[in-house]
């Protein structure tokens, strides 16, 4: 909500940081059990955030409609998370605490996150583990039966709970079980193969969404008292990413055009441990879990142009560059730092593999120290996956890895209650901006998604609904008619273009522009060039794109075209945000703003704020608002991992 022109008020509760959430819960308005069933909530998305929110709201007694474009919630992209989920249980007795998890997350985000939200996340982390254990999530355990932990980047303690290399999948199955229990109870209704096309806003409030059934092509209205978006991130903007091919920005971008501010869109994360692209026509990249950096050592040859097989390069001629540059954290430096370091050694001509865009992740020392069985118990499925994809055996030769687009810290702006600038529109998980600042630490995405879904939005949404009329929501008003007309018009425009160029080619070209000029490193000149190249590409798309088939059938070409059309508009916003933020912080690295050692250089005097962009209309530049970031408990300092 606006606190003055251009300034946003997050409505953070007063009081000491450690007491804010507890105090806030005590004063939130409540909805009685008898009245909960009179409220209808639409949840868009069925990943960890969406499934946990829908299940929790259904358990409370609300009428919930859950929309998702997969055939089952179990196919949500959350299944791809491999390494683990953070919590401050301190089971290893190594000095961890809620405070330390909070501090590591704030520091890891380069002091560009809201302090109160991050502390709440750390507080709730322990509740998440208890919830998931109660659901039967099979976390890995030590020999004696206690839950095991491992380390992740940006931390010097072992706080990450894991299910071998399948943590996201197992957590999602737990949430799925809770969700299906509510489906059976009749409080949640699932709409599979259904994609949100627009947000409906009436008298300034979110009152529903417009969707399209991806099998029949039917466009439908969904009226509700409140809407929850849990639609994930937008890394597929870069074309090649670790995201599932269907992941997109459409839901949040459509909400932006209806009045929800978009915060820090240029804060995108490049993950350092991905299998390098193998050929020019590759469509998807594969993530190798950050957990591998616990035991794998990253290195490149000391000399440029060294093409010898890794086994023939002596130890003295190897550069373990992360261990050399960051001795305190070594191979477990945060993702943004590890990614830039990999790019730097490859730019120096010391990269490995056919393209020279790769570094080694070597397990020889760990296998010799711990034994093959121990390594297999930790990473066996990851080793198998790597061998199946590359044809190389990581037991005998090092893995080859290189950074790739992975996660987006930017998202729709939300206040402390996770409500956007549109009243009644709540945004959770990766779809919002709130917890990770300019760089997310590993194993924190699952933590945020489940904290938002299980513990936060069920509380704060009730506070909003308590002041909303309990009359049944209607979908026959002018706002719904206008939104449906917009959606139908856009669909018909796509199918009637009848051009000769494929949707895929436009997406690939856009991704190349974004990766080159707004990827791991950015510059003012490069960003301006991107802003010059994107509008003509978008115009060409609407003039020459070829969408086969009809809108009233299962049509993957049409699905893809709608998503790429949104990427072609959204890309401009990302570049504008990157150009306006004249500093380097976390994953946003401006070449003009770096230290003599090549590290990110923040400008706290000018940019210690959240940038939230307001849509101003077609062919008009968006308006940049700010939310100042105040740090009461942690003083921003140079982010050093040396």
The structural domains of the chain, with segments of one domain joined by +, span 271-405
Burial of 551 (0-12, 13-18, 19+ CB in 10 A): middle
Cβ neighbours of residue 478 under 8 Å, at least 6 residues apart?
Answer: none
Count of CB atoms situated within 10 Å of the CB of 323: 15
**Looking at residues 427-455, what average pLDDT do you find?**
97
pLDDT of residue 164: 86
Mean confidence (pLDDT) of the chain:
96
pLDDT of residue 630: 95
Determine the Cα–Cα distance for residues 274 and 461; give it in Å rounded to an integer: 38
Q: Is 375's pLDDT higher than 90?
A: yes
Q: Is 5's pLDDT higher than 70?
A: no
Q: Of 171-175, 416-420, 496-500, where does mean pLDDT reach its minimum?
A: 496-500
Q: Is 10's pLDDT higher than 50?
A: yes
Among candidate residues 335, 378, 581, 590, the one labeled active-site is 335
Q: Is 504's pLDDT higher than 90?
A: yes
Contact 222, 40 (CB under 8 A): no
* Of 175, 146, 2, the residue nearest 74 (C-alpha): 175
pLDDT of residue 447: 98
CA dihedral of residues 614, 617, 621, 626 (deg, nearest 10) = -10
Which tops the pLDDT comparison, 3 or 640? 640
Determine the Cα–Cα distance for residues 592 and 98; give it in Å rounded to an integer: 36
470 assigned to active site: no
pTM for this prediction: 0.96
Structure tokens at 486: 């917009």
Contact 383, 397 (CB under 8 A): no
pLDDT of residue 4: 38
pLDDT of residue 3: 40
Q: Is 536's pLDDT higher than 90?
A: yes
| Domain 271-405 bears CATH identifier 3.90.700.10 | yes
Contact 161, 101 (CB under 8 A): no
Residue positions counted in the chain: 642
Q: Is 156's pLDDT higher than 60?
A: yes
Determine the Cα–Cα distance for residues 420 and 517; give it in Å rounded to an integer: 30
Contact 406, 269 (CB under 8 A): yes
Instruction: Report, in this order, helix, strand and coil percent for the chain, each rounded to 5.
Output: 40, 15, 40
Determine the Cα–Cα distance for residues 155 and 328; give it in Å rounded to an integer: 10
Classify the C-alpha dihedral 584-589-591-595 as positive or negative: positive
pLDDT tier at 117, thresholds 50, 70, 90? very high
What are the tens digits of pLDDT across the range 46-63? 999 999 999 999 999 999
What are the tens digits of pLDDT across the range 182-205? 999 999 999 999 999 999 999 999
Burial of 441 (0-12, 13-18, 19+ CB in 10 A): buried
Q: Which residues pair with residue 209 across a beta bridge?
A: 199, 222
Q: Is 1's pLDDT higher than 90?
A: no
Q: Is 6's pLDDT higher than 80?
A: no
What are the tens digits of pLDDT across the range 68-110? 999 999 999 999 999 999 999 999 999 999 999 999 999 999 9
């Amino acid at each position: 909500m606006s606190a003055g022109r251009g300034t946003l008020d997050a409505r953070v509760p007063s009081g000491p940081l450690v007491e804010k959430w507890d105090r806030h819960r005590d004063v939130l308005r409540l909805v009685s059990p008898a009245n909960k069933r009179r409220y209808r909530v639409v949840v868009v998305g069925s990943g960890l955030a969406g499934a946990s929110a829908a299940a929790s709201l259904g358990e409370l007694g609300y009428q919930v409609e859950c929309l998702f474009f997969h055939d089952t919630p179990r196919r949500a992209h959350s299944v791809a998370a491999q390494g683990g989920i953070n919590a401050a249980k301190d089971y290893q007795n190594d000095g961890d605490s809620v405070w330390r998890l909070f501090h590591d997350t704030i520091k890891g985000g380069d002091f560009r996150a809201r302090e109160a939200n991050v502390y709440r996340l750390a507080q709730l982390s322990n509740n998440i583990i208890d919830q998931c254990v109660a659901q039967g999530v099979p976390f890995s355990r030590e020999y004696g039966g206690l839950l095991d932990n491992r380390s992740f980047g940006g931390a010097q303690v072992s706080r990450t709970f894991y299910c071998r290399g399948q943590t996201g999948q197992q957590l999602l199955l737990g949430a799925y079980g809770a969700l299906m229990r509510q489906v059976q109870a009749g409080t949640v209704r699932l709409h599979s193969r259904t994609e949100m096309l627009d947000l409906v806003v009436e008298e300034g409030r979110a009152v529903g969404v417009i969707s399209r059934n991806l099998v029949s092509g039917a466009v439908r209205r969904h009226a509700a008292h409140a809407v929850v978006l849990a639609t994930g991130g937008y890394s597929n903007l870069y074309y090649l990413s670790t995201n599932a091919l269907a992941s997109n920005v459409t839901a949040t971008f459509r909400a932006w055009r209806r009045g929800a501010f978009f915060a820090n869109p240029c804060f995108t994360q490049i993950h350092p441990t991905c299998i390098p692209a193998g050929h020019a026509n590759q469509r998807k990249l594969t993530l190798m879990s950050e957990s591998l950096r616990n035991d794998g050592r990253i290195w490149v040859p000391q000399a440029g142009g060294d093409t010898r097989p890794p086994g023939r390069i002596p130890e003295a001629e190897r550069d373990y560059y992360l261990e050399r540059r960051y001795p305190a954290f070594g191979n477990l430096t945060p993702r943004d730092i590890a990614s830039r370091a990999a790019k730097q050694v490859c730019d120096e001509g010391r990269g490995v593999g056919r393209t020279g865009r790769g570094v080694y992740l070597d397990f020889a020392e760990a296998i010799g120290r711990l034994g093959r069985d121990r390594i297999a118990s930790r990473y066996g499925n990851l080793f198998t996956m790597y061998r199946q994809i590359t044809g190389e055996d990581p037991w005998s030769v090092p893995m080859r890895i290189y950074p790739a687009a992975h996660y987006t810290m930017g998202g729709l702006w939300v206040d402390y209650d996770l409500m956007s600038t549109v009243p009644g529109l709540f945004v959770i998980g990766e779809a919002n901006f709130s917890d990770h600042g300019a760089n997310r630490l590993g194993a924190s995405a699952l933590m945020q998604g489940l904290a938002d879904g299980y513990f936060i939005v069920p509380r704060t949404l009730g506070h909003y609904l308590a002041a909303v009329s309990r009359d049944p929501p209607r979908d026959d008003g002018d706002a719904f008619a206008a939104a449906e007309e917009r959606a139908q018009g856009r669909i018909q425009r796509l199918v009637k273009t009848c051009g000769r160029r494929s949707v895929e080619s436009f997406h690939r070209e856009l991704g190349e522009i974004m990766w080159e000029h707004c990827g791991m490193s950015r510059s003012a000149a490069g960003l301006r060039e991107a802003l010059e190249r994107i509008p003509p590409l978008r115009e060409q798309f609407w003039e020459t794109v070829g969408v086969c088939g009809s809108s009233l059938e299962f049509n993957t070409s049409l699905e893809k075209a709608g998503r790429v059309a949104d990427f072609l508009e959204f890309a401009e916003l990302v570049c504008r945000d990157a150009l306006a933020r004249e500093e380097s912080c976390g994953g946003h690295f401006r070449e003009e703003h770096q230290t003599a050692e090549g590290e990110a250089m923040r400008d706290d005097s000018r940019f210690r704020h959240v940038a939230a962009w307001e849509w101003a209309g077609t062919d008009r530049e968006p308006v940049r608002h700010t939310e100042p970031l105040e740090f009461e408990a942690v003083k921003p300092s140079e982010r050093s991992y040396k």
